[in-house]
Chains A and B, each alone.
Chain A
Amino acid sequence: MTTKRQTRKDNGTCASSGSYINTGNGSTFMPIDIGHPEYIALIEPDTAFWSLVKHEKLSSVLTEGKLFKAYKKKAGVFTEEMDMLRFGLKPSAVYFNPTEKCNLDCPYCYIPQKMRHDGEHMSEKRLIKALGLLKDYFKRTLPKDTLPQIIFHGAEPMLNRDAVFAGIEQYSEDFRFGIQTNATLLDDSAVDFLKSQNVSIGISLDASDAAISDRTRINWDGQGVHTKVIEAMERLRGYNGWSVICTITNKNMRHLTKLVNFLHQKEVPTCLMNIVRCTLPSSLEVKPNDANAFKYFMAALERTYELYLETGRKLPVGNFANILLAIIAPTARRLMCDISPCGGGRCFFALTPNGDLFPCSEFIGLSQFKGGNLFKDSVEKVLTSRPFSRVTDRKVEDVEPCSRCAIRHFCGSPCPAEACEMNGGMEQTGAFCEFYEEQVRYAFRLIADDKHEAFLWDGWGDDTKKTFTMDLF
């Protein structure tokens, strides 16, 4: 299989037989301190292969070769798996913005303020037409048994409720629908409709206390919307298909543990606690530093574990669960931000109310990343456009220091929009690095202590098969 990552060892010019690790054509295993009292990690970065070795056994593991022989037998399979994950997928989801408008003015939003304030709705007629065009596209590209996803996103999609609901009704057999909303407009009838259509619902909440949450989740008059969100959460209680997104900023990071208690008490099935994206300059005002953010984030994760032990009920934090999956089952990832190239333009793309197509919602405010228009161009043509390929061609191998980082395929060097806008180019890192380093180290500590299943959602491995096991005593 020829891949974009093909290296010198494939072309037959090097005489090394690859018998030894870390020299010649041998595999590269990098020892990584994971901060565990007993274990150190050995990572082969290209295939995302890892092992945890007791400190006192490191020398014998490195010289006896049992682990490396077992790895060598599987290296080809792992290489193909990573290549498929990184370069072989087709889009199966669309982030569909049915309006430019929002009733909130959160400081970290990636949609430009003017657009959110003065923007336009997509008409119901155009929305129905767009769904029809997307249905036709996916019919051409996806296997018959795969149902594509449409996620109504924003700005605030519920501001264009009638059009959105009409689209969901008309195409209920053709797509799996989701909606990400600020929850301020989720009244009883809206929740009843979305539940009846099995729509996956994501809502946004940054803290359990109004005083904290209202620092960032505010309307155009500067008033917080915390109370409205809590009311919507009560309406959603008992429904399996909902989740809460918290954006970690310097305004709320000290209160994440309290938020975990709150979400668990409200029986939230799953949540995301994402570090703020810094694509637009206004986000920088609320950007926390990596070390502080991770300290509080890890405390929140630890709290989910304590609550699980106390009650038997998990609260998976989806973005961290995804890092764990990147390690133990790379293809089982649900989020495609922490793989390189990221999912933008290759696993999903974003649609704006006037039909413009972008690799990801994160690029909607950046006109140079418009790849075409759904009503004028074929999606296939848009996917190969230069604005899209700038994103889909961005690989960790081209980014410093990621190209020499052992955990490059557990982190993926997010996010290209940040790299470009905040740091000046696609070959740059995004806004955070140490935050991801620490997450990976923590994930390995959990694996070493065999606690990691408590951080993953039940049934995550139902469709998986074991491809490697080595437990040496």
Chain B
Amino acid sequence: MKGMQKENIKITKKNKTKKDVIAHRKSCDAKGTGLSHYILMDKKIK
């Protein structure tokens, strides 16, 4: 529970810093195969 509270505080603090310009982008191998009728999550299945 403590961990969750810390996360909440982190989110609130983050919002206080406002930059003049925000721009970022990430890249990876494209592997998307889902469609509006189905999504395959790549979470580890128990």
A residues sitting closer than 8 Å to B (CB atoms) are 38-39, 49-54, 57, 61, 67, 78, 81, 84-85, 89, 92-93, 95, 149, 151, 153, 176, 178, 180, 195, 198, 200, 202, 238-241, 243, 245, 269-270, 272, 274, 277, 309, 311-312, 318-319, 322, 328-337, 339, 343-344, 347-348, 360-362, 414-415, 447-451, 454, 457, 459, 461, 463-473
Given the contacts A202-B38, A335-B36, A85 and B24 also touching, CB distance less than 8 Å: no
Q: Whole-angstrom distance from the CB of A116 to the nearest CB of chain B? A: 15
Interface string of B8-46 (1 = CB under 8 A from A): 100100110111111111111111111111111111111
Sample of 17 more A-B contacts, CB < 8 Å, known A202-B39, A334-B41, A472-B20: A38-B18, A50-B23, A61-B21, A318-B41, A329-B25, A329-B28, A332-B30, A343-B35, A414-B36, A415-B36, A464-B27, A464-B28, A469-B24, A470-B23, A470-B24, A472-B19, A473-B19
- A243–B41 touching, CB < 8 Å: yes
Mostly, the A contact residues are mixed
- B39–A240 touching, CB < 8 Å: no
- B30–A465 touching, CB < 8 Å: no
- B46–A93 touching, CB < 8 Å: no
Docked Cα-Cα span, A176 to B33, in Å, equals 12
Q: Whole-angstrom distance from the CB of A82 to the nearest CB of chain B? A: 10
- Chain B: number of interface residues, binned into ranges: 35 or more
Q: Whole-angstrom distance from the CB of B3 to the nearest CB of chain A? A: 7
Closest to A453 in B: B11
- A331–B40 touching, CB < 8 Å: no
From A84, A272, A415, contact of B30 by CB (8 A)? A84
Given the contacts A241-B41, A241-B43, A332-B28, A93 and B33 also touching, CB distance less than 8 Å: yes
Contacts of B14 in A (CB 8 A): 450
- B19–A343 touching, CB < 8 Å: no
- A335–B32 touching, CB < 8 Å: yes
Q: Whole-angstrom distance from the CB of A63 to the nearest CB of chain B? A: 14
- A51–B22 touching, CB < 8 Å: yes
- B41–A269 touching, CB < 8 Å: yes
Given the contacts A245-B37, A329-B27, A454 and B11 also touching, CB distance less than 8 Å: yes
Mostly, the B contact residues are loop
- B27–A269 touching, CB < 8 Å: no
Given the contacts A54-B18, A465-B27, A470-B21, A311 and B4 also touching, CB distance less than 8 Å: yes
- B37–A239 touching, CB < 8 Å: no
- B21–A53 touching, CB < 8 Å: yes
Contacts of B28 in A (CB 8 A): 329, 331-332, 461, 463-465
Q: Whole-angstrom distance from the CB of A81 to the nearest CB of chain B? A: 6
A-B contact pairs, 18 of them (CB 8 A): A95-B35, A151-B40, A200-B45, A240-B41, A269-B43, A309-B11, A334-B34, A335-B39, A343-B32, A343-B34, A415-B36, A449-B15, A450-B17, A454-B11, A465-B26, A470-B21, A470-B22, A473-B20
Contacts of B18 in A (CB 8 A): 38, 54
Given the contacts A312-B4, A467-B26, A472-B20, A277 and B36 also touching, CB distance less than 8 Å: yes
From A180, A198, A414, A463, contact of B38 by CB (8 A)? A180
Docked Cα-Cα span, A89 to B21, in Å, equals 33
Docked Cα-Cα span, A337 to B37, in Å, equals 10
From A245, A319, A328, contact of B26 by CB (8 A)? A328
Q: Whole-angstrom distance from the CB of B7 to the nearest CB of chain A? A: 6
Contacts of A312 in B (CB 8 A): 1, 3-4, 7-8
- A464–B39 touching, CB < 8 Å: no
From A67, A202, A329, A454, contact of B23 by CB (8 A)? A67
